[in-house]
Amino acid sequence: MKTISQAKSHGGVQGVYSHASDVCACDMTFSVFVPPQAAQGPLSVVWYLSGLTCTHANVMDKGEYRRMAAELGLIIVCPDTSPRGADLPDEKDNWQFGSGAGFYVDATQEPYAKNYRMYSYVTEELPALIAREFPADMTRQAIFGHSMGGHGALTIALKNPERFKSCSAFAPIVQPSTAGWSKPAFEKYLGGDEASWRTYDTTSLIEDGRRFPEFLVDQGTADGFLKDGLRPWLLEEACAKAGIPLTLRMQDGYDHSYFFISTFMDDHLRWHAQRLSA
């Protein structure tokens, strides 16, 4: 692991790091905020997964999480959203696919299968690195994210309920297998057999029997992607049928931006801290 930068913030340290990823077959960059309580021992870990076009830096620069994370004693880990590199397969004119748009799946189709393995990266390789290099209590983990990252957080939690004590999302893509801005990416990454897409689709996972104790979702009513891409009512229907408690908060007048995310960041961190300490 290489240290790219470190800065003191709210008594803790905000760092940016890189490492050679075996899973993605390229160098990967991520950020970690370690609060001051780490001097007394290992702390709970909260994973934040970012959305389309983002890197680790978007939430680090605009998410406004450090003050509350320092108050609550939470380590915040922010992975990148895809593998990166000039020699990697990509569609540079398509913001919904390739670089910045890994969708937290393990691609099975060429030429993407070698590098676009973000599910395994976020659930296996990076957690192992965090456990080795940081004062992290890996028995106490939570996960949340925004948009594509909200999709990632929900699906990862549903498939790993024993690992995460809580899961929340800002404006998640709840049914990417049918949404116009994600379905083409699923086909390119996973192939034409739509049955294989279900393991990376929140509503399908719930329909197929996956369960998680509860979810918190915030969604802005002025979000331009609400009706065509996000469709939180589909998650509401799936959770109701499965008996999964869902707190869905429709936030009047808020859009899809980090102005929205930063407004409700403290709420989500407090919510996770309560469940991590239970």
CB contact at 8 A, 6 and 23: no
Annotated active-site positions, please? 147, 223, 256
- DSSP letters, 87-139, are TS---TT-TTSBTTB-TT-B--STTTTTT-BHHHIIIIIHHHHHHHHS-EEEE
How far the first Cα of the chain sits from its last, in Å, is 32
CA distances from 213 to 11, 160, 189, 190 (A): 33, 12, 30, 29
